[in-house]
Every structure is written in structure tokens, then in C-alpha cells.
Amino acid sequence: MSNDNTEGGSLGGAVSDLRRRRVLQALGAGAALTAVGSGPAAATQSSDEVDPNFGFTGLSPDAEPPVEPDHEVDLLIRPSEERQIPEFFFQPTGLFVEPGETVAFRFPTPDHAVVGYHSFIGRQQRTPDRDVDPGLISSPFLGSNAFWLFTFEEEGVYDLFCPPHEVFGMAMRVVVGEASGPGASEVPDPCAPAGESEGGRPPALTAALVLRDPALAPENVVSEGTVEWSAIAAENKQLFLEFSPPEVCGPMESEPGDGGPEATAYQVDFVAGAPEERLGEDPDDFYSDQDRLLRFLHGSEETPEIRSGGGFASGDVADCVDWGSIEVEHSTASVEFEVADGCEQELSLASYVNPAGPGEFSRETAGDQRLFDSASATFGPGEGGLTVAVPGAPFVASLSGDNEVPPVGPVETDASGFAWFSPEDDGTWHYHLLLRNIEDVTQAHIHEGRPDENGPVVAFLAEFTGAPDGSGGGDSRSATHADVIDHAGTIGDTDLIEQIAADPGSYYVNVHTAANPPGEIRGQLRSTE
């Protein structure tokens, strides 16, 4: 990102995850699911042994296993009376075995995999260290009536999950002999503020709630021998998607700092397809319900990232796109990703604000969550990124070519932008100008004028060249979706600021380019309060 405040970032996490997936797929039939939107290799019949990483795969009940299993676990999907989405679970959900015993994971329902939480796939390791390389545990994706064997040799706690259905709580715990190793530690609270996790991303969403349930405490699994899905508390089976369950997490709190501005809660969603103008205006407006949510983040001014996590999307999207986390810095949120060869996908990053104030994000108040800023484009193979502004400033402007007024416009352009203005203690305004997918920006100003008027310049925001047409010295600036212009500055004319604050709708931000000197993208100022 081209930014006057920070150095630009690389694709980093998304690329490393994609490379990790390709390494795993090259390992053969048991290749594991990575942490970011990828999947195990297609299933093939195993050779006549139980591999220490990838077990033994039987594609039908008639396949001859190399050993007789000591225990059986079913991977199930069951309709739920409490919600429209069915339950996805391991049965039993907790299991004690002796070292050297073999477990048969049976697939009465299709499209599951069994994977251990491990740093090799970008997840917090919750299985014992083992003297095998790479030391992970992974089945392939399997269809109906298949089975998969794994022999648990080393003592310790093994936390396992079904990657495509982790969001629904499809996780289990196996304790082998003594309850020891990294899996014996408490699963991080998914309701707690997000932070750096040593070794990778911990269990997420409903799976984290399931593994934190007292019924799956390692000592209880040892004592009981088996723990049925029915023993897991109902509140820990709630669908932990775009919004945290209030019964589990309580309201999302954000307190103002001492002497600082009031915190403003916001949400940022990375999705497949175009953004929604309002979330929850009707029940079908949630990205999670549309199978389009890839990643989400909740934050505030004081705490840019209060909670974040992965969503889920259709299989076609997951097969085509690898993505990293949403990162917030200097009042912008960004996500980086890579689109696979042979794919083309529309992707959007959208920020939302709730006028009701901090701590009000829930499904009950979803109809009040309104689009603040968005960036959307169709991407072909290769690396990409999107950046949006996050709420916090009291005066903003959304910029597009459609807003230009004749005889200047409308202007046909794929460029977009966002400007936001925050008051300082001395009465001045600090501003940011975020520009995306635009070529040869020369100048940017605040003009006086209503939405249907062209008016005079009252304040300079950017002056990259001496004149709006690019003449007069200086160098114009260009931006892509991944490499944006984030230009910051200060307006010192306090008399002008008072006039704008009293009637923001009578002023607009206009961005000039060499191709469109009168203006390429424009947006009317508005108050967010």
C-alpha cells in the first residue's frame, strides 16, 4: 500500500498459506487443510499401512483395513430444531484411548475431513510433538460410507477438527494415555480481544466453544472414556459466525479512553461478490447466510481489532482464493489474497458503522448496520488486495465518478475513494484521502457546492502537480486496489472548518487527474454523527 504514514506490506500470510497448501497436497492422499481457505487433496485408496501422518483411507466399507480398529467415531450432519442450519459434529466428541490403539473415523455423511490443529498448517498446535515429519494428522476429504484409520502412538491430548465445518463446531478431543502436551492447555476464548497467537491461529468460531466445554476437559475425557455430543452445553453449539453469541460473549464492549473521543464500533467484512448496503435489513442480507463471508473483523477507535475470524464461502470460492487476515492501521482496513490460475472472482471489502453507538453490534440491531466504505473488483490469477476506511471520523465523503456533475461528469471510471476529517484540540482538522484504482492523480480539493453544483475550491487536500492537468511541475500519483494512495494532512483554516461543520452538505471533495482535470471522482461531505 502506498501510504504517507506507513511502509507498504507484502502479501505475506496469504502467499505463505497458499505455498503451504501446495506442499501438503504434494505429500499425497492425506494432504491437510490449511488455515486459510484451502483443502485436503482428493481421496485415493491408501496402501496397506496406517501412515503416521495421513493414516489409512478406505473409500468404501468393503475396503480391507490393515488393522482392526479399537474405537469408532462417526462424522455426522443432523437437522437442528433450534436453527435452520444443521448440526455438524463428531460422535463421540470426546474419546480416551490407550497408546498404540487405532480409531476408525467413519463417514456416514459426505464431504468431511479429520485434521489435527498443527503449526504446519498455520494453526495453533494442539496435538503432541511426534518423531515423524511433518508431524501433522490429516485425512483427505471423503465421501459417504468411506472410513479413515489413525493409530495414536504418542501420549497426549489431540484436538481435531473438520476444516470446512469448523465454523459449525465440528471439532473433537482425543486423549491418549496421559492428558499432556500442547492440547492440554486451555483453548483461547473466541470472545476475547484478538491478539497474537504463538504458533498460529487457535481453534475458531463454534469449534472453540465446543473444545472449551467442561465436558471435554481432558481429565473428564479420561474419566468418562467417551463424551457424547449431547453432553456439550447448548450455548456452546451456537452458530458463532459474523456475530458472537450474546449468551456466550455478552455485549461487545468498547469504553472511551480518558479524555479521548468516544469509541465507535465498526465491522469489516471480506466477501465474495458485491457488498450489501445494509446488513440484516432482511434475514437474507447476512453474508454468512449467503455463503459469501470469507473473513470478518470487529473494532473500535481505541481497539482497532476487538474480534476477528473466518467465515465460510461456497466451495468454488474456497478453491479459487487464498486470503489472509483483515489488518487495521491508520484508520484503514486491508486484506491481501491470491487468486489461483484459471480463476476469476469478484471480491469486496466493506466496512460498516452502527449509528446506535459502541457495543451495539448483534443480529438484533443488524438492520442499523450501514455501509461506511467499500472496495470491490473482479480479480484474475495472481496476488491482490483491497483497502477501505473504517469508521471513526465525524465528517466523511465517498468518492466516485458517478458523482461528478455536468459539464464535468458523470465520469466513466473504475476509480473510487474515501475522505475523512477529524477535529484536533486546536480547532484544526486532520484528514485522510484514500484513493483506489486511479491513474495520474494531480490535485484534490474541497469545493463549495451542493450535489448538483460545481463550485470553487475552498481548501487544498493534495497538490502532487502544479496544476490539475498535470502541468506546472511535480509528479502525479497512481493507485491500484492493492497499492492505494493514503494521503494525510491538516486543514488549518478554523473559520472555514466552522462553516463546513455547520453545513457539510454544501461542500464536496473533488479529485483531479491528468485524464480528467476538472475532476474524476467526487463525493459530498456528510456528518456521521
Q: What pLDDT digit, counting tens, does each position of 272-286 carry?
A: 999 988 876 666 677
Give the tens place of pLDDT for each residue, 293-304: 888 888 877 778
| Dihedral, CA of residue 284, residue 288, residue 293 and residue 295, to nearest 10 | 140
Residue 190: which pLDDT band, with cuts at 50, 70 and 90?
confident
Q: Are residues 440 and 479 in the same domain?
A: yes
Compute the C-alpha angle 13/18/21, nearest 5°: 125
Please tell me the predicted confidence (pLDDT) of residue 458.
Answer: 98
Q: How many CB atoms lie within 10 A of CB 503?
A: 12
Q: Which of 220, 188, 221, 218 is nearest to 205 (CA)?
A: 188
What is the rounded average pLDDT of the residues 427-446?
Answer: 97
Residue 357 is assigned to a structural domain of this protein: yes
**How large is the greatest C-alpha to C-alpha distance in the chain, in angstroms?**
84
The more confident residue out of 40 and 240 is 240
Which three cell numbers mark 473? Answer: 511541475
Single residue among 359, 375, 390 that ends a domain in this structure: 390
Task: Say whether both 191 and 95 belong to one domain.
Answer: yes
Q: Let me know whether 168 and 32 are in one domain.
A: yes
> CA 94 to CA 77: how far, in whole Å?
17
**Cell for 205?**
468460531
Least confident of 14-28, 115-129, 330-344, 507-521: 14-28
Higher pLDDT: 348 or 234? It is 348
Question: 3-state SS string over 400-464?
Answer: EHHHCCCCCCCCCCCCEEEEEEEECCCCCEEEEEEEECEEEEEEEEEEECCCCCCCCEEEEEEEC
pLDDT confidence bin for 506, thresholds 50/70/90: very high
Grid cell for residue 460: 487544498
pLDDT of residue 256: 36
Please give the angle made by the CA atoms of 311, 314 and 320, to the nearest 5 degrees. 95
Shared domain for 377 and 472, answered yes or no, is: no
Torsions phi, psi for 231 (to 5 deg) = -80, -15
Whether residue 225 is found in the same domain as residue 271: no
Give the least confident one: 25-39, 98-112, 193-207: 25-39
Task: Examine residue 3 and state whether it is found in any structural domain, yes or no.
Answer: no
Q: Is the pTM above the cut of 0.85?
A: no
Which residue type is seen at 367? Answer: G
* Average pLDDT rounded to a whole number, residues 231-252: 62
Q: Which pLDDT band holds residue 242 (cuts at 50, 70, 90)?
A: very low
- Do residue 146 and residue 86 come from a single domain? yes
Q: Which residue range is the domain that position 362 belongs to? A: 241-254+261-390
In a domain, 2, yes or no: no
* Residue 2: predicted pLDDT: 44
* Residues whose CB falls within 8 Å of the CB of residue 196, separated by 6 or more in sequence, listed in order: none
> Same domain for 56 and 198?
yes
Q: Average pLDDT in the 73-94 region? A: 88
Q: How many residues does the chain have?
A: 529
Return d(Cα 102, Cα 152) in angstroms, integer.
6
- Mark whether 266 and 222 lie in a shared domain: no
Residue 454's CATH number: 2.60.40
Tally of helices (H runs) and strands (E runs) in the chain? 6, 31
Q: What is the CATH number of the domain that holds 211?
A: 2.60.40.420
Of all residues in the chain, the percent with pLDDT exceeding 90 is 62
Domain shared by 230 and 371, yes or no: no
Residues 187 and 270 grouped into a single domain: no
Q: Is residue 4 assigned to a domain? A: no
pLDDT of residue 361 exceeding 80, the answer is no
Asked if the structure places residue 1 within a domain, the reply is no
The strand pairing partners of 106, in sequence order, are: 74, 147
- Tell which of 374, 390, 406 closes a domain: 390
Of the candidates 102, 114, 21, the one whose C-alpha atom is nearest the C-alpha of residue 65 is 102
Contacts with 179 (C-beta within 8 Å, 6 or more apart), sequence order: 156, 157, 218, 219, 221, 222
Residues 385 and 482 in one domain: no
Closest CA to 216 of 196, 198, 236, 200: 236
405 shares a domain with 302: no
| Total count of domains within the chain | 3
Nearest to 90 by CA among 100, 76, 79: 76
Task: Assess if residue 217 is contained within a domain.
Answer: yes
- Residue 39: all three cell numbers together: 483443502
- Looking at 390, 408, 434, the residue that finishes a domain is 390
Say how many C-beta atoms besides its own lie within 10 A of residue 347's C-beta: 26
Which cell numbers in the block locate residue 7? Answer: 511502509
Decide if 352 is inside a domain: yes
